[in-house]
Structure 1
Amino acid sequence: MERTMTELAGLQETEKDVDDQKKEVQEDLRKLKEQRNALESRIKKELRPQESQQINILNSYKSYLRIETEMSLIDSYAEDFGNDLDDLENEQKNDTTTEYHPKEYFSDDFVPTMSEYAQTILKECHYSDLLEATFNFTKFDIMVNGEDKGTSHGKGYRSYLNTVMILMIRKYLANYAKFDPHTFIIDTPLHGFDDGVDEGMPESMRAGLYRYFMNYQDEGQLIIIENLDHIPNLDYEGSGATVTTFEKVDEPSKRYGFLNDVK
C-alpha cells in the first residue's frame, strides 16, 4: 500500500509536469499562430500589393522595350524612305528626259506581226469585202482596205473591229509578252445592232467572230458580255465555253446580274 501510494504520488507529480509542459506548448502554439496571422496579414496588406505593383512595372518595362524596338525599326524605315526620296529627287533634277514614249519600246517586228494577225483574224471571221488588213502604228489601230474603222462603216462595224483589235493584242501578248494578263473582257462586241445600226452586216461575220472566240480559248480567258438577241446560234457549251444567263427573275435557280444577291 505504501509503495502504491508512493508510486501514485509520483504519477501525480509526473502528470502535473506533463500538464505544465502542455500549457507551455499550447502557449507557444498560440504565440506561433499569432505570428502566423500577423505574417499573413502583412503579406495580404503589404507584400501582395507590392508583388502586383512589381508585376505591372515589369510588364510596363517589357512593353516599353517592345515599343522602343518598333520605334527604332520605324525610324530606320523612315530614314531609308527619306533617302530614297532624296535620291529620286536628285535623279529627276539630273534627268532632262522625263517624258515616257511607250512606242519606242516595241520591237521592229511588232507592226508586221500585228498586221498579219489583223489579216488572219478577219479572214477567219469571214469579214466581208476584205482585201487587206493592216496595223497603223501611228494611230495604234487596225486598218481595213486602207481605211480606218470609222471612215466607211457605222457603229456596228467599229465595235466589230475594236473587238478584233483586242483579239490581236491578246494573241500578241500570249505569244510574246513577259507578263501576260491571260484575262480579257469584251462588252457587247456586236454593239450597234441593238439600235438598228449596221443591220446589213452578214450573219457569217457575226457567227465567224464567235466561232473565233471558241476556237482560240488557249490564248487567254475571254469574257464576252452580249445581249442574247444578237449572239449567233452556236453550240457554245459544246466548245467548252461557260454560258451564264442573267434574268430579272427573283428565283433561286436564276441569276439576276454580275453580283449574286444584288438587284
Structure 2
Amino acid sequence: MQERRSEISAALDEKNQEIQNCRYNMQRFKDYTTLQNGIDFVNDQLAILGDKKVSELKKKKNPPLYHAKQEFEEEVGTGFNTILNRILKECNYRSVGYASWDFTTFDILMDGVPKSEDQGKGYRSFLNSVVALMLYEYFNKDDVFIKPGFLMIDTPLLGFDENEDGFDGETIKNGLYQYFLNHQGSGQVILVDNLNVIPQNIDFKAREVNVVTYHKDEKEGHVYGFMPSWRKDLPKESK
C-alpha cells in the first residue's frame, strides 16, 4: 500500500512539474506577443508620422522657384520607406527597427542612423542591395515614367565571409535569396556572386533559375571567366 502511494505521489509530482513548465512557456509566449505587439505599434506610429509629414509637404505646393529635388521628395513621400521596410521584413532582417529614406544624402537610414555608422562591410552590402531592389520596384510601377526593365547586382552580400558582431549573416543570406526567388516574374534580375556566399540549401534549378558558373579554366566544359576577353592564363600580346 505504501509503495503504491509513493508511485502515485511521484506521478503527481511529475505531472505537476509538467504543468509548471507549461505555465512558464505560456507566460514567455505571452511576454513575447506583448513585446511584438508593442514593436508593431511603434512601427505603425512611425508610418503615420511619415504620412503626416508628406501631407504637410504637399500643402506647401507652388513654390516661387522650381526645385526638382524637393518636388521629387514630395512626389515619393513615404513610398520609399514602405517598400524598404517590406523588403527588410521579407529578408528576415531584425524584428526591431525602422528604415527610412534620407533625401539629403539619398540613402537609407536604419532607426535614423546612416548605414556607414553601423556595423561592417557585409551589413552595408546587404542594405545597398535592398536599396537597389527598392528603387527597381518603385520605378517599375505603372505610374512612373522611368522603367529600368532589369536589375543587375554585383556581389549583393559582399563581406559576409567576415564575422560581424550582432549580425546574423546566415539568416540574412537565406532571406535575401529567398526574396529574389519569391519575386520571380517581377522583372529580370541578374546576380553576380561568389559560390562560397550563395546559400547551399536552396535548389536553384528546381526553382527554374538560370545559373551560370564561371571558372578559371575550360576543363570539362567549364566556362572561362565572366569576361572571356580578359584572361590571365594567356600571354600578353607584344606591341
RMSD: 2.4
Indicate if the aligned counterparts of 1:159 and 1:191 stay in contact, CA closer than 8 A.
yes
Q: Give the whole-Å Cα distance in 1 for the aligned partners of 2:67 and 2:215.
A: 46
Which one of the candidate residues 103, 115, 123 is aligned to 1:157?
A: 123
Q: 1:177 to 1:258 in 2, by over 3 A?
A: farther
Kindly state the Cα deviation for residue 205 of structure 1 after the two structures are TM-superposed: 1.1
Q: 1:218 to 1:102 in 2, by over 3 A?
A: farther
Match of 1:29? Answer: none
Q: Give the whole-Å Cα distance in 1 for the aligned partners of 2:212 and 2:174.
A: 19
Superposition pairs for residues 41-56 of structure 1, below 5 Å?
none
Match of 1:148? Answer: 114
The one-letter code matched in structure 1 to 2:223 is: R
Query: What's the secondary structure of 2:152's corresponding residue?
Result: strand
Match of 2:62? Answer: none
The one-letter code matched in structure 2 to 1:137 is: F
Q: Does 1:119 align with 2:96?
A: no
Q: Give the whole-Å Cα distance in 1 for the aligned partners of 2:156 and 2:86.
A: 18
The one-letter code matched in structure 1 to 2:85 is: Q
The one-letter code matched in structure 2 to 1:147 is: V
Q: Give the whole-Å Cα distance in 1 for the aligned partners of 2:176 and 2:67.
A: 33
Indicate if the aligned counterparts of 1:256 and 1:262 stay in contact, CA closer than 8 A.
no
TM-score with structure 1 length normalisation?
0.56
Q: Give the whole-Å Cα distance in 1 for the aligned partners of 2:140 and 2:185.
A: 9
TM-score with structure 2 length normalisation?
0.62
Match of 1:53? Answer: none
The one-letter code matched in structure 2 to 1:114 is: F
Match of 2:148? Answer: 181
Q: Give the whole-Å Cα distance in 1 for the aligned partners of 2:68 and 2:206.
A: 41
Kindly state the Cα deviation for residue 198 of structure 1 after the two structures are TM-superposed: 2.6
Match of 1:203? Answer: 170
Indicate if the aligned counterparts of 1:135 and 1:142 stay in contact, CA closer than 8 A.
yes
Q: Give the whole-Å Cα distance in 1 for the aligned partners of 2:181 and 2:88.
A: 15
Kindly state the Cα deviation for residue 221 of structure 1 after the two structures are TM-superposed: 1.2
Indicate if the aligned counterparts of 1:170 and 1:219 stay in contact, CA closer than 8 A.
no
Q: Give the whole-Å Cα distance in 1 for the aligned partners of 2:190 and 2:73.
A: 29
Match of 1:229? Answer: 196
Query: What's the secondary structure of 1:179's corresponding residue?
Result: coil
Indicate if the aligned counterparts of 2:90 and 2:179 stay in contact, CA closer than 8 A.
yes
Q: 1:150 to 1:182 in 2, by over 3 A?
A: same
Q: Does 1:170 align with 2:139?
A: no
Match of 1:106? Answer: 72
Kindly state the Cα deviation for residue 177 of structure 1 after the two structures are TM-superposed: 2.7
Query: What's the secondary structure of 1:218's corresponding residue?
Result: coil
The one-letter code matched in structure 1 to 2:224 is: Y
Kindly state the Cα deviation for residue 115 of structure 1 after the two structures are TM-superposed: 0.2
Q: Give the whole-Å Cα distance in 1 for the aligned partners of 2:67 and 2:120.
A: 32
Q: Give the whole-Å Cα distance in 2 for the aligned partners of 1:107 and 1:190.
A: 29
Kindly state the Cα deviation for residue 224 of structure 1 after the two structures are TM-superposed: 0.7
Q: Which protein shows a greater Rg?
A: 1
| Consecutive unaligned residues in structure 2, runs of 5 or more | 1-65, 232-239
Q: 1:246 to 1:201 in 2, by over 3 A?
A: same
Pairs aligned (count)? 164
